[in-house]
Structure 1
C-alpha cells in the first residue's frame, strides 16, 4: 500500500533484468518505495547494492513472457510477497534484427508474441488485481517505434504499435476504478538490448526514462515521452508523405 503521504511502497517489475525497468525501479526506491519484486525467467537477482543499499527489500519470482497461462499466477505470487501493488512496470521484450526476422519468419512470430501478446495476458492479469485493490498504476514501456512503423524494424515496431493501442484501451477500461495506466514512449535508449542498433537522433538514457516515469506518476499523466521533444517531432512525422517516410533510414 502507499504510505500516509501517498508515496509508492511496493513495485513489481515484469522483465526483472530490463535496464530501463531497473532504472525506473531504482528511481521509485529513491522516492520511497520499500518492497520490490523482480519477475523474470529463472528469477532475477537485484543489481549489486543498487536497491538494497537504498533500503528496499527485494524479492524474485518466475515470469515467462511466452507462457500466458502463468501470468495471473505470477501477479498473485507477487501480491503474496508484498501485498497490494502500488506500481507495476511492464518492461519485458526483445528487439532482435529485422534482416534475421525476414530470413526466419518463425523467429519473427516468436518475437512478436513476446512483444505483444505476452503483454496482453500480463496486462490483463495486472489490471484485474489493480481493479480489485481500487488503486495502483501499470507503467507500460511502449516505444516511438510503434507511433509510426518504419521499414528498418517493422516487426518490432508493429508489435509496439499493438502494445501501445492495447495499453490505451486498457487505461480506458480502468477509468473510474482507482487504477490507471501510464504509457511510456521512449526513443532510442542505449542498452545491452540495443547494442547492435545504430544510434538514432534524440536518444535517452535509462535514467532519463526513469525520471519521465516518476514525473508522470506524480502528475497523473496518461502518456510520457523520453525525451519530450519526440512528442511534437512524431506529431509531424505522422503527417509525412509515405514516399518520403519510406526513405528514412532511422
Structure 2
C-alpha cells in the first residue's frame, strides 16, 4: 500500500495518474476548491482506493505546503500537477497576468518541489513527479511567457534530481508535447499531440520502475525537440504555436 499526494488534483493529468494508481492505495487530493474534487474522490473509491482525503490547497501561498506535508506524514508518491497556460497577449499587455503565469508555473512549483524533496529526504524514500513541457525546450513567440516558466522548471528539476541522487528519492520530470484537453480547448493540436491518459500511463510506468528519469511523451518528441534547436532564429520567430 502506498500513500499518494496529488497537488492540483483537479488537473486532467493529475486525475488520470490517480486513477491508474487507485487500487489499494491511500490518496490525498489537494486543490483550491474542495467541491471540485468530489467526482475524482468517488472515482478513486470505486476503483479500489483504500482511503481518499481532500485538502484545500492554494499553490500560490508558499506557507501552505509544509503544514500539509506534516499532516500527511509518510508519503510514497507526490505529483505536482497544478499549473495554467495563461494568455500570451494578455501577459504582454498586463504585467500582473505575466506574474500570475510565472508564479503559478514556476515559483509555486519550486516551493512545492523543495518542500517535497526535504520531506522525502527525511524519509529516505519516495517519488516526486513534476511536469515540464516541449514548450520549455525553446521558447516560441506565441507562448514565450509560459515557455520560459517550463524552461526554468525543467532546469530546476534536473538539478533537484542530481541533488537527491543516492537519497532514496526519485524525481520524474515529464516533458509532454501538446496535451489535448480542457486547458488547450479550442486550440489546434500540434504535431505529436497526446492526451492526458497518454501522459499518465507513461508517468505511472516510470513510477513502477522506481528510477529518476526525464520522460519525453511521446518518446519520439525528443527527435523533434533537437530539430527545433537547428531552426534559424529569423524563421523560428515566425512559426505558429
TM-score by length of 1: 0.90
Identify unmatched segments of 5+ residues in structure 1. Answer: 4-8
How far apart in 2 are the matches of 1:46 and 1:129? Answer: 29
Structure 2 equivalent of residue 22 of structure 1: 15
Partner of 1:239: 230
Partner SS for 2:182: coil
RMSD between aligned alpha carbons? 1.5
Deviation of 1:45 (Å): 2.5
Which segment drifts farther, 151-160 or 231-240?
A: 231-240
Residue 224 in structure 1 maps to residue 224 in structure 2? no
Which residue in 2 is equivalent to 1:148? 138
Question: For 1:113-146, what per-residue CA distance to the aligned partner results, in whole angstroms no more than 9, with x for missing partners?
Answer: 0110001111111001110111111000111111
Whole-Å separation in 2 of the counterparts to 1:33 and 1:249: 45
Q: Cα deviation per residue 1:50-71 (whole Å; 9 max; x = unaligned)?
A: 2111111211112111101222
Q: How many residues align?
A: 237
Whether 1:54 and 2:47 are equivalent positions in the alignment is: yes
Any conservation in 2 of the 1:138–1:180 contact (CA below 8 Å)?
Answer: yes
Alpha-carbon displacement from aligned partner over 1:192-219 (angstroms, at most 9, x marks no partner): 1211433211111111101110122233
2:87 maps to what in 1? 97
Relative to the length of structure 2, the TM-score reads: 0.93
Q: 1:48 to 1:59 in 2, by over 3 A?
A: closer
Structure 1 stretches of 4+ moved >3 Å: none
2:64 is matched with 70
Task: Indicate the residue corresponding to 1:248 in structure 2.
Answer: 239
Structure 2 matches for 1:1-250, cutoff 5 A?
A: 3=1, 9-29=2-22, 32-43=23-34, 44-47=37-40, 49-56=42-49, 57-79=51-73, 84-219=74-209, 220-250=211-241
| In structure 2, distance between residues paired with 1:76 and 1:170 | 21
Deviation at 1:48, TM superposition (A): 6.3
Moved more, 63-72 or 190-199: 190-199
Q: Distance in 1 between matches of 2:25 and 2:208?
A: 17
